[in-house]
Chains A and B, each alone.
Chain A
């Protein structure tokens, strides 16, 4: 399994466990994601895509089954361990770009490293600037998020997701809030980083044009993977 980034075995997730309203959202998911995968996770609303993404991103814990991230089992980890692993090996891009308003674009990009290592050194800052350059925003390094357009903010968020050189980039409807042109540009960035840094990309999307341009399409319906095919 040395080529695997992520492996899910019989993963189940229920909400309101132990209550009369208990409901199972994911019904036994088996999934593997390799180091260079560029996969789309699609499915109708309420199929459990976001839940699955949260569990994969170690933001949420499965009720049953095991999740291996970089061959490490994660279900027995405590919050601090999961937070550390999440911070070092997973990059997040959300639908509503989610930058911290009090920080500049560059600081937002550096934030994951500042959180884990403290004050950034010159090398780290350079890496942040390079990433901003890679997303075409080197001129906006000192701007605050509210001075940037939606597309620009999303690109800052992508740069932030990549600053830790994560093994896995998770994106939840990353283009859901952008116009077609900007969406295509943003998606091109994912592709570029997938090839350049060799980080696996898993994108939750509704947009068939985006999912069609992925190498692999995983279709989740009612908490079950109904199809998983490479292009």
Chain B
């Protein structure tokens, strides 16, 4: 191995301009791949963070109600005209047990029960439709850190307190300390104290979400002791669909992951990933062909030297190694330069760029791309190296 590496290095050093050119080629390719991948990853991370900043990863709800009907006796033709049932507000059966089971399930970060339903917020003459959300504050905060989004007052949903969105507050002219009347239909209503005002940054949510104490919401919605859903956060957001499936199987409840409810977003993200991969693949391919062609030229230029090396006892395998190593070295060195360039590009983007978002470079991206470039180098060297190892020394020595 020593002699192969020695010859490979000396050949590379001797072919200065060729080596420099192909190093630049590899470097540019790797820089583009690293930069684009980092950019897209960060962009996607940003979008996902924004989406999931206001919703749980998995929502567990009671199964939908369906019509039950007796099976028709055998041999009868059945004509059916069935109306779907309206979905009542229902509690999850034995939700405390379900919650305990979910608490013990691996792969999940937080589990939070909620009793939620439609209602109206009234102040004087003004009526707004809202979403009444009864929560266990400590648990819910681990799903959506609502405390960080408070703009006025404080996050407190104890007895008689409510936290409302900024949009609703301004529509109803409310400030922390004001009273608000909440109505849930069928004569159930309550007067609550506005303890805090939050701003999630999504207009619709800021206009509709009213956070209450769980017990108070249960009373308002006519679900004493019940909850309508359990919110779950997964440790790995992209494993949410798998976790949801498991929860559904385990509990017999309906469990929907954010990936299902945001199918369009997922679709957009995965198309983006596919296009990033295609770009990376194309760049990698052109780099590979670059390395292959430079080495092919080198084999031709060195035909006579290859012949001499063979004559003085270099085996075919060693000859193969010399050129494979050249490919690997070019890939490794070029990608090191390229990684450095990508770092510089990202730094530039982060410091003097448009400042829309920050691009982090993960710890894996650079070593992974360098390893990939090295392997690509070796693979693209295969054809020229094979040719070098198969040269007939008799012919090669006389080659001019």
0/1 string, B293-322, CB within 8 A of A gives 1 = 000000000001101111111111110000
Min Cβ gap B326→A in Å is 12
Min Cβ gap A107→B in Å is 8
> B87 to chain A: which residues have CB within 8 Å?
none
Would you call B3 and A114 a contact (CB within 8 A)? yes
> A88 to chain B: which residues have CB within 8 Å?
313
> A116 to chain B: which residues have CB within 8 Å?
313
> B13 to chain A: which residues have CB within 8 Å?
102
Would you call B2 and A160 a contact (CB within 8 A)? no
Among candidates B2, B7, B305, residue contacting A118 with C-beta atoms closer than 8 Å? B2
Task: With CB as the reference atom, state the residue of chain A lying closest to B312.
Answer: A112
Would you call A102 and B11 a contact (CB within 8 A)? yes
Measured CA separation A83–B11 after assembly (Å): 22
Task: With CB as the reference atom, state the residue of chain B lying closest to A88.
Answer: B313
> A99 to chain B: which residues have CB within 8 Å?
308
Within 8 A of A (CB), among B317-347: 317-318
0/1 string, A95-126, CB within 8 A of B gives 1 = 00011111100000001101110110000000
Interface size, chain B (Cβ < 8 Å): 26
Task: With CB as the reference atom, state the residue of chain B lying closest to A114.
Answer: B3
Min Cβ gap A144→B in Å is 9
Would you call B315 and A83 a contact (CB within 8 A)? yes
Min Cβ gap A140→B in Å is 18
Would you call A115 and B308 a contact (CB within 8 A)? no
Q: Is A207 an interface residue (CB 8 A)?
A: no
> A60 to chain B: which residues have CB within 8 Å?
394
Among candidates A59, A79, A119, residue contacting B394 with C-beta atoms closer than 8 Å? A59
Q: Is A86 an interface residue (CB 8 A)?
A: yes
Q: Is B277 an interface residue (CB 8 A)?
A: no
0/1 string, A182-193, CB within 8 A of B gives 1 = 000000000000
* A115-B309 contact, Cβ under 8 Å, with A59-B393, A98-B304, A98-B397: yes
Task: With CB as the reference atom, state the residue of chain A lying closest to B306.
Answer: A100
Would you call A112 and B313 a contact (CB within 8 A)? yes
Would you call B312 and A87 a contact (CB within 8 A)? yes
Measured CA separation A79–B397 after assembly (Å): 17
0/1 string, A146-180, CB within 8 A of B gives 1 = 00000000000000100010000000000000000
Would you call B312 and A115 a contact (CB within 8 A)? yes
Min Cβ gap A25→B in Å is 12
Task: With CB as the reference atom, state the residue of chain B lying closest to A112.
Answer: B312
0/1 string, B177-188, CB within 8 A of A gives 1 = 000000000000
Would you call A54 and B394 a contact (CB within 8 A)? yes
* A100-B316 contact, Cβ under 8 Å, with A83-B310, A92-B311, A119-B2: no
> A160 to chain B: which residues have CB within 8 Å?
312
Would you call B3 and A100 a contact (CB within 8 A)? no
> B397 to chain A: which residues have CB within 8 Å?
59, 94, 98
Among candidates A87, A102, A103, residue contacting B313 with C-beta atoms closer than 8 Å? A87
> A128 to chain B: which residues have CB within 8 Å?
none
Min Cβ gap B16→A in Å is 11
Measured CA separation A87–B309 after assembly (Å): 10
Min Cβ gap B204→A in Å is 70
Measured CA separation A124–B309 after assembly (Å): 19
Would you call A102 and B2 a contact (CB within 8 A)? no
Within 8 A of A (CB), among B1-42: 1-3, 6-7, 10-11, 13-14
Q: Is A84 an interface residue (CB 8 A)?
A: yes
> B315 to chain A: which residues have CB within 8 Å?
79-80, 83-84
Binding site for A on B (CB under 8 A): 1-3, 6-7, 10-11, 13-14, 304-305, 307-318, 393-394, 397
Binding site for B on A (CB under 8 A): 54, 57, 59-60, 79-80, 83-84, 86-88, 92, 94, 98-103, 111-112, 114-116, 118-119, 160, 164
CB pairs A–B below 8 angstroms (15 shown): A59-B310, A59-B393, A59-B397, A60-B394, A83-B315, A84-B313, A84-B315, A87-B313, A92-B308, A92-B312, A100-B309, A103-B10, A111-B309, A112-B313, A118-B3
